[in-house]
Structure 1
Amino acid sequence: MKRLSEERTKLVFEKLKNYIGDNVKLLIDRPDGIYCFREKKERVYYVSEKILSLANTVGPDNLISLGTCFGKFTKSGKFRLHITSLHYLAPYAQYKIWLKPSAEQQFLYGHHVTKAGLGRITENTPQHQGVVVFSMNDLPLGFGVAAKSTADCKFADPMVTVCFHQADVGEYIRSEDTLL
């Protein structure tokens, strides 16, 4: 596991800031210890410094992964969040969208959220802002990008897309064949 370069750290933090704002600091300095980001084979892992120090006893060729995979760098150099980071992003999300029960399944199949499926949205959500998508029972389902601001959603047609799909918990099932 190697440290992220300054440029890559900036890309990771910009992406995280799009979803959780200044709460990125809370990911690093947690009550249970200090956490950090490390990279291995274009993937970024979120790991406790205690565990990282223990992992230094394992040879780099024998270490496959460590901690939670937060995302990966694409071939074009952009950073993409993985759904495995949802558990850590959801409590700190600044902007949230709640789906009606009838729209949850469509979102979990990888479709965008329409106004008809929108249960509620955080006040003052700007357009093109990263949002965490929840069920009406406050269960995190995934994350996306707001296609419309909160003000625009109020007057939008029911079939207009209000949130672009980025990732959802249904990806585990959909990608099951490709993982084997």
Structure 2
Amino acid sequence: MRPLTEDEMKSVFEKLSKYIGENVRLLVDRPDGNYCFRLHKDRVYYVSESIMRKATNVARKNLISLGTCIGKYTKSGKFHLQITALDLLAPYAKYKVWLKHGSEQSFLYGNHILKSGLGRITENTAQYQGVIMCSMNDTPLGFGVVAKSTADCRRADPGTIVAFHQTDIGEYLRSEDTLT
């Protein structure tokens, strides 16, 4: 477990700001204490400083996890958010897409969102903006990227893809046999 380097921190904050904008600073300076990001075995963890200090007593090879895993670095050095970050990011999200009940299951199976399955979308959402996908009762379901801006969604045909799937809460079940 070690602190992130300058470049690593920059890539993590860029990815987080794609979904929650300038609210990234609210993740670090919280009223219930300070939180930090730590790297352990190519995974980035979000952890309170008090727990992080206690974990320094555990040997690195014996440490399995620490705090909440928000993403991992690929072998090529890119940072990817994981679905475990959804509960942390959903309250701070600037842009959301609400799915109709019928298209929730399709999204949870890993499919993109069509205009016919779009319930609502946050006003002034730009094209290729990162969004949090929610059910109509505001339950966060996953991450996506908007394929069309809010204005373009209004004019789109019902069969047009309006949001690209990135990850969802059904990922655990689909990748159950590949987890080690």
TM bin (shorter chain): over 0.9
Q: In 2, distance between residues paired with 1:151 and 1:43?
A: 37
Aligned-partner residue type, residue 101 of structure 2: P
Shift of 1:77: 1.3
3-state SS of paired residue (1:116): helix
Counterpart of 2:36 in structure 1 is 36
Shift of 1:20: 0.1
Q: In 1, distance between residues paired with 2:34 and 2:160?
A: 43
Q: In 1, distance between residues paired with 2:112 and 2:34?
A: 36
* TM-score for both structures, normalised by structure 2: 0.98
Q: In 2, distance between residues paired with 1:96 and 1:62?
A: 39
Percent identity, aligned pairs only? 67
Counterpart of 1:173 in structure 2 is 173
Shift of 1:96: 0.3
Q: In 2, distance between residues paired with 1:84 and 1:21?
A: 19
Alignment of 1:13-162 (within 5 A): 13-162=13-162
3-state SS of paired residue (1:80): strand
Q: In 1, distance between residues paired with 2:56 and 2:33?
A: 18
Q: Return structure 1 stretches of 4+ with deviation > 4 angstroms.
A: none
3-state SS of paired residue (2:178): helix
Q: In 2, distance between residues paired with 1:163 and 1:152?
A: 12
Q: In 1, distance between residues paired with 2:178 and 2:74?
A: 18
Shift of 1:176: 1.2
3-state SS of paired residue (1:50): helix
Aligned-partner residue type, residue 159 of structure 1: G
Unaligned runs of 5+ in 2: none
Aligned-partner residue type, residue 13 of structure 1: F
Aligned-partner residue type, residue 49 of structure 1: E
Deviations, residues 23-55 of structure 1 (Å, cap 9, x unaligned): 001100111110000001111000000000110
3-state SS of paired residue (1:127): coil
Q: In 1, distance between residues paired with 2:77 and 2:58?
A: 29
Q: In 1, distance between residues paired with 2:36 and 2:77?
A: 21
